Amino acid sequence: MTFNPLKIGELTAKIPIIQGGMGIGVSLHRLAGSVAREGGIGILSTAQIGYQCDDFEKNTMKANLFAIKEQFEKAKKIAKNGIIGFNVMVAQFEYEKIIRRCVEIGADVIISGAGLPINLPELVKGSKTKFAPIISSSKGAKVLLKMWAKRYQRTADFVIIEGPLAGGHLGFKYEEIESAANQMDSEVKKIIEIVNQYAKMFQINVPVVFAGGVYTKEDIKHYLSLGCSGVQMATRFVGTIECDAPNDFKERYLNAKKEDIEIIKSPVGMPGRAIKNTFTSVIKTKTIPIKKCRNCLLLKLCNRKDIPFCISEALLNAVNHKTEEALLFAGSNAYRVNEITTVKDILGNLTS
Ligand SMILES: Cc1cc2nc3c(=O)[nH]c(=O)nc-3n(C[C@H](O)[C@H](O)[C@H](O)COP(=O)(O)O)c2cc1C
């Protein structure tokens, strides 16, 4: 069985699979480049993307802006002519500066979530970069696309729907996660209807891509049958040689059992899904003082004094060999990752 390609404007991905952005440092040039080379879309996470640069601790923003270009160029080299883009969280400090940098260096696509990317069309205007919001509900889709139509007389180039089984931050209230999982299929259909209204209004094709808990070929077929044009997958790609996270991070996935995957409360103000460890049990009862602020989040979200822990520190520990002191973001399927294989194998298995 072969799937139809994913078409976003003039871009065509041979296979309709986007590799979801994974920060910090989990989806960088090796993973994104490899997925794109095999015909999918590779996404670099901009969250503290420069963490391996020498001056990262001294001048974090400068290192991050430098790394956006460096990682993109390296990914493009691996990808040959493949499609490479960025994931930028709305909650990120200097969001606009980061988006403008991604556009300036020629990103093929930008995917933006963890909040509603209200001024994204304005930031991308005049470029070839295609953009997508990450949306978790029909309400969010309605509000955002209506606002974009009114304010910018345009709509999204594509839309990512992220359901409650995803890894990392979730666009649901803590208490809604379980019930949302049962209603997600009907929500997907509603969102597609809304997107199609705007696609018709602006006479363009706006593909909708589903993310969150997609693991097998059957899962892909399911979301295509609901009317999606593709899927975004992240967790499964952690089990690859090319995934940019270090081996001790990947080993935590290999050793995780179903009951080891839990929901935590993040300082970003959203719940997040992660692998149980010493860190996740400590933050249930204690506050971990911030050692060093790297200005990663908007001040309105992170008031520094009252937050339970520093999200940057916790995610940096995950890729700096301190896996017990780290937040190990993972999707609900992380326990199914039981070997380290290659991107080519996974994509071959999903599409052949
Ligand atoms: C380790 C990890 C880190 C992630 N980091 C981000 C991120 O920085 N920004 C974002 O929008 N989504 C992030 N996500 C969500 C993914 O991009 C993706 O949409 C989601 O995990 C898809 O579900 P799956 O993991 O079940 O395939 C992350 C997911 C994982 C597993």
Query: What confidence tier does 285 reach under pLDDT thresholds 50, 70, 90?
Result: very high
The string of pLDDT tens digits covering residues 2-32 is 899 999 999 999 999 999 999 999 999 999 9
Specify the pLDDT at position 331.
98
Q: Measured from the CA of 26, which atom of ligand 1 is nearest?
A: 1
Q: How far is the CA of 201 from the centre of ligand 1 (A)?
A: 31
The pLDDT-based confidence of 1 (bands split at 50, 70, 90) is low
C-alpha–C-alpha distance, residues 180 and 174, integer Å: 10
Listed residue (172, 168, 162, 170) closest to 328, CA to CA: 168
Sheet holding 168-169, edge to edge: 168-169, 271-275, 261-265
For the CA of 43, the closest atom of ligand 1 is 17
Please state, in angstroms and rounded to a whole number, the distance separating the CA atoms of residues 240 and 4. 25
**pLDDT tens readout for residues 148-198:** 999 999 999 999 999 999 999 999 999 999 999 999 999 999 999 999 999
The confidence score (pLDDT) of residue 5 equals 98
pLDDT in tens, 230-270: 999 999 999 999 999 999 999 999 999 999 999 999 988 89
Q: Which residues contact 159 (CB under 8 A, 6 or more apart)?
A: 132, 133, 135, 141, 191, 195, 206, 207, 208, 209
pLDDT at residue 122 greater than cutoff 80 = yes
Residue whose CA is at the smallest distance from ligand 1 atom 6: 22
The CATH code of the domain at 6-245+337-351 is: 3.20.20.70
Residue 302 has pLDDT above 90, yes or no: no
> Average pLDDT of the chain?
96
Instruction: Check residue 196 and give its pLDDT.
Output: 98
Q: How far apart are CA 122 and CA 124, in angstroms?
A: 6
Residue 325: its pLDDT value, please?
A: 96
Alpha carbon distance 11, 128 (integer Å): 10
Structure tokens at 317: 């520990």
- Ligand 1 midpoint to CA 69 (Å): 21
Longest dimension (CA), the chain: 54
Ligand 1 pocket, residues with Cβ under 6 angstroms? 20-23, 26, 45, 47, 87, 89, 113-114, 134, 162, 165-168, 211-214, 232-235, 329-331, 333
Average pLDDT over every residue of 280-292: 91
Domain limits, the chain: 6-245+337-351, 256-335
Q: How far is CA 78 from CA 30, 53, 269, in A?
A: 7, 20, 36
What's the pLDDT tens digit per position in 56-80?
Answer: 999 999 999 999 999 999 999 999 9
Q: How confident is the model at residue 352 (pLDDT cuts 50, 70, 90)?
A: confident
Contact between residue 122 and residue 148 where contact means Cβ atoms under 8 Å apart: no
203 Cα: distance to centroid of ligand 1 (angstroms): 31
Give the percent of the chain with pLDDT over 70: 99
